[in-house]
Amino acid sequence: MPTLKDIAKLAHVDISTVSRALNDSPYVHPNTKEKILEAANTLKYHLNGTKEVLKTGKTHAVGIIIPNAKLNIFMDFIQQAEIQADAVNYDVIICLSNDDSKREKRLLQKMRAGLADGIIIASTGENNSLLEDISSSGKPVVQIFREVDQNLDSISINYQQSVETAFHILRKKGCCQIGLINGPTSDTPYQDKLLAYRQLVESQSLPVIVQNTQSYPASFVQAGYELTKTMLSVTPNVDGILTANDSEALGVARYLDHQSINIPNDIKVISLAGSTVSDLFPARVSATVFPIDEISLHALSLIISKVEKLDRDSPLQHLQINTRYVSQMTC
């Protein structure tokens, strides 16, 4: 397989010049760019893609940066995004940041250099200046699930509505000691869920019963297990549990099963981020389900319309989408 070094040797230029030419840099002389393209053609170096980029300045690819795809809503999102992008002849490039701001920065710089025409990101919030700079330079950016920068478009969940829906269902089922098994509050969605929960229990003069992870756990399933153990040791009369996501709900269910505590007769459980992960559970979890199809469609439509300059003068969008409750075996 030919490399940039092979093209550089054939065209009698530096490798850096080849890289700039194939990324359509304006700092490469047109004659040099043509010579490099001919060398790439001769060596059959991704010829069709190279021609398209040089001709249009577009890769027809959207970069998607997510923390991970471990049994969560991000896994569902990238599956739908792939299908919806393909329907309009776009590709998606999936990158995992592991919620590491340095890794995220490195991925953003690569996408900025020409890997993708636009970026969809569930951001750490530590690279906002870089994201704004990328956006202002003409490469659109859309935030998903986490709205960490008001100066960028975002498609997120109405977390307040999600918590309110689940909480009121538990109350209607007779629950009076409702706990929250949450994720790290350094993450905006978990902050929002905690705030909504506190407002609800305090408005009804109920006790605040919360267990948060201190950081992103290696396993949300194990975190759910351990946090439930801690919660019930401190507040043994809990009769309803809200979990921040489906994986934590699985951990909760495992702990309650090991303690011979019946779901839903003794304790009712509702996940606040329903996804296809719950299909893997022996006991199907009741949940406020994220409308992944709708979220991915909005995000892709917005990013592609900006890439194609269909709505260049449109105002910033900060769309919050409601969840829907699905009653299953745990409540």
Provide mean pLDDT across the span 189-197.
Answer: 96
Judge if 165 and 269 occupy the same domain. yes
CB 92 within 8 Å of CB 78: yes
CATH of the domain at 41: 1.10.260
Q: What is the DSSP letter of 60?
A: -
Predicted confidence band at 238 (pLDDT cuts at 50, 70, 90)?
Answer: very high
Is residue 328 domain-resident? Answer: no
Number of Cβ within a 10 Å radius of residue 6: 17
Helix 292-307 × helix 73-86 angle, to 10°:
50
pLDDT score, position 313: 66
In whole angstroms, what is the distance from residue 96 CA to residue 104 CA? Answer: 8
Specify if 76 maps to a domain: yes
Question: Mean of the per-residue pLDDT values for the chain?
Answer: 89
* 138 plus 172 within the same structural domain: no
Count of domains observed in the chain: 3
pLDDT interval class at 54 (50, 70, 90)? very low
Residue 84 has pLDDT above 60, yes or no: yes
Give me the numbers of helices (H) and strands (E) for the chain, helices first please: 12, 12
Select from 56, 79, 98 the last residue of a domain. 56
pLDDT reading at 115 higher than 90: no
55 pLDDT more than 50: no
Examine residue 34 and state whether it is found in any structural domain, yes or no.
Answer: yes
Percent of the chain exceeding pLDDT 70 equals: 92
**Once rounded to an integer, what is the mean pLDDT over residues 189-211?**
97
Q: Which domain holds residue 29?
A: 4-56
Q: Are 118 and 306 spatial neighbours (Cβ–Cβ below 8 Å)?
A: yes
Question: Does 209 share its domain with 312?
Answer: no
R_g of the chain, CA atoms, integer Å: 24
118 pLDDT exceeds 90? Answer: yes
String of DSSP letters for 169-217: HHHHTT--SEEEEE--TTSHHHHHHHHHHHHHHHHTTPPPEEEE-SS--
Torsion angle of the four alpha carbons 188, 295, 123, 225, in this order, in degrees rounded to the nearest 10: 50
- CATH code of the domain covering residue 82: 3.40.50.2300
**Of 139, 158, 146, 134, nearest to 189 (Cα)?**
146
Shared domain for 183 and 264, answered yes or no, is yes
Question: Which residues are within 8 A (CB) of 100 and not within 5 positions of it... i.e. 6 or more apart?
Answer: 124
The Cα 308–Cα 60 span in angstroms is 10
| Domain-located, residue 125 | yes
Residue 330 domain-assigned (yes or no): no
Same domain, 272 and 244: yes
Does 180 lie in the same domain as 168?
yes
As a dihedral over the C-alpha atoms of residue 218, residue 112, residue 79, residue 298, rounded to 10 degrees, the angle is 110
Query: Which pLDDT does position 265 carry in this prediction?
Result: 97
**30 CB neighbour count, 10 Å cutoff:** 9
Same domain (yes/no): 163, 137: no
Pair (95, 215) in one structural domain: no
Under the banding of pLDDT at 50, 70 and 90, the label for residue 125 is: very high
Give the per-residue pLDDT at 21: 80
pLDDT at 195: 97
| 267-291 per-position pLDDT tens digit | 999 999 988 877 777 778 999 999 9
Same domain assignment for residues 136 and 95: yes
At 118, give phi and psi (nearest 5°): -155, 165
pLDDT of 59 higher than 80: no
Cα 52 from Cα 216, distance rounded (Å): 41
Reported as a pLDDT band with limits 50, 70 and 90, residue 18 is confident
Angle subtended by helix axes 30-43 and 4-11, to nearest 10: 120
Domain contains 281:
yes
Tell me what the mean pLDDT of segment 309-313 comes to.
Answer: 65
Q: What is the arrangement of strands in the sheet containing 209-212, beginning at the earlier edge strand?
A: 209-212, 178-182, 240-243, 268-274, 286-289, 324-326
Q: Looking at the structure, tell me whether residues 242 and 208 fall in a common domain.
A: yes
Residues 277 and 179 in one domain: yes
Query: What average pLDDT does the segment 209-215 reach?
Result: 94
Poorest-pLDDT segment among 50-54, 77-81, 163-167, 305-309: 50-54
DSSP structure class, residue 288: E
Over 90: is that where the pLDDT of 224 sits? yes
In a domain, 329, yes or no: no
Residue 204 and residue 146 share a domain: no
Any domain includes 213: yes
Q: How many residues are recorded in the chain?
A: 331
Contact 119, 140 (CB under 8 A): yes
Q: How confident is the model at residue 133 (pLDDT cuts 50, 70, 90)?
A: very high
Give the whole-angstrom CA distance, residue 158 versus residue 273.
11
Is the model's pLDDT at 126 over the cut of 70?
yes
Band of residue 312 on the pLDDT scale cut at 50, 70, 90: low
Amino acid found at 265: N
